């Protein structure tokens, strides 16, 4: 074991340390922990692409998919990159993928761009450039643990659970031509209102219906949540907060009413495939109570951020739910101003 820094309890003044390139901050008299990557991290990348904050920064949330769709429909965007442009592209993409471990709001963008990373084209580079233009003015963002958007994570009956894992799933059914019309699974997992994991993944099988895509996503997020539950149980039991026999339930929310009805029924619809084993596995977890499935409308489902390119308003709203917000000047004051402003909106 090696000590790399010390962050005190909030009542003792908190503190700040850097670990593996990430800054961890706790402000005095505030128990939350903020995690961020220093704004200078992407400075060399911005310079390589000729982006200057005062000239070419874009406050608009980029529509990555629109650029990538041009690689299918427009020959001008299908030209392969030169060796020098390819090297620069791979380097920038690698840095962004590392940044996304803290900046969860970037995961869908990078998942979409990653479908063409082996053979990037002019349109792929344009998609990456649009993301970088957005980040020029959006690099000073921190992840708050736990999230301060408690209303967005609340549901009826929440008070019944003293400890639980709270997950969200969503799916897009064959939305884009550039990825072969494969569905996209979006998932978010919280523990005690703190973001633990998020993902935006291309589904391996092409689904024949929206319901099938949603079932694929529900099963995948439920499986990942169960793995996390075992880790949480071991830690909480080790520090004496729960007994060895006590179970940690998983509350999984989805916006697909048809998928919930199918899981509660007994028949598999004819227009579904690749899901029989997934369906039976999910039903067994619902019967034992390991997973509790609930419906949450799409506009309130934070996993929507990881399945499609959203409008700026919806993007920022879901980002606040994750616990991500700009952090400028005084970490404590400005972060709270952003959260309050977002809540008012």
Per-residue pLDDT reduced to its tens digit, 74-89: 888 899 999 999 999 9
Question: Would you say residue 57 has pLDDT above 80?
Answer: no
Q: Mean pLDDT score of the chain, rounded to an integer? A: 87
Using one digit for the tens of pLDDT, what is the confidence trace for 116-143?
999 999 999 999 999 999 999 899 999 9
Distance CA 190, CA 340 (A): 21
With a pLDDT cut of 90, the percent of the chain lying above it is 66
Q: What does R_g of the chain's alpha carbons equal in angstroms?
A: 21
pLDDT value of position 68: 94
pLDDT value of position 204: 85
* Burial environment of residue 258 by CB neighbours within 10 A (0 to 12, 13 to 18, 19 or more): middle
Domains along the sequence of the chain with CATH: 39-139 (no CATH), 149-305 (3.30.420.10)
* 294: three-class secondary structure by DSSP: strand
Looking up tokens 């990653």, which residue turns up? 114
Using one digit for the tens of pLDDT, what is the confidence trace for 2-23?
888 889 998 999 999 998 889 9
Cis amide bond preceding 287, omega within 30: no
């Amino acid at each position: 074991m090696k000590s790399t820094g010390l962050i005190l309890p909030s009542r003792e003044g908190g503190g700040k340390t850097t670990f593996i390139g990430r800054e961890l901050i706790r402000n005095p008299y505030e128990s939350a922990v903020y995690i961020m990557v220093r704004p200078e991290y992407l400075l060399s990348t911005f310079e390589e692409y000729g982006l200057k904050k005062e000239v070419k920064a874009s406050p608009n949330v980029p529509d990555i998919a629109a650029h990538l769709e041009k690689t299918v429909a427009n020959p001008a965007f299908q030209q392969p990159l030169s060796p020098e442009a390819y090297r620069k592209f791979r380097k920038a993409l690698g840095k962004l993928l590392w940044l996304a471990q803290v900046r969860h709001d970037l995961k869908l963008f990078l998942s979409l761009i990653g479908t063409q990373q082996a053979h990037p084209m002019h349109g792929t580079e344009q998609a990456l450039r649009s993301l970088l233009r957005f980040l020029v003015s959006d690099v000073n963002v921190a992840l708050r643990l736990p999230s301060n958007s408690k209303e967005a994570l609340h549901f009826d009956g929440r008070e019944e659970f003293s400890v639980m894992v709270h997950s969200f799933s969503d799916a897009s059914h064959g939305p884009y031509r550039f990825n072969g019309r494969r569905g996209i699974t979006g998932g978010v997992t919280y523990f005690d209102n703190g973001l633990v994991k998020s993902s935006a993944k291309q589904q391996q099988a092409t689904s024949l219906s929206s319901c099938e895509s949603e079932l694929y996503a529900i099963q995948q997020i439920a499986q990942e949540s169960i793995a996390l539950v075992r880790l949480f149980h071991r830690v909480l039991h080790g520090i004496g907060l729960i007994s060895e026999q006590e179970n940690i339930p998983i509350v999984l929310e989805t916006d697909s009413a048809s998928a919930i009805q199918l899981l509660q029924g007994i028949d598999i619809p004819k227009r579904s495939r690749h899901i029989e084993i997934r369906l039976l596995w999910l039903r067994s977890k619902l019967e034992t109570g390991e997973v509790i499935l609930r419906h949450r409308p799409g506009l309130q489902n934070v996993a929507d951020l990881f399945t499609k390119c959203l409008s700026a308003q919806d993007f920022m709203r879901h980002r606040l739910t994750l616990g991500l917000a700009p952090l400028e000047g005084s970490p404590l004051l400005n972060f709270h101003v952003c959260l309050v402003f977002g809540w008012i909106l």
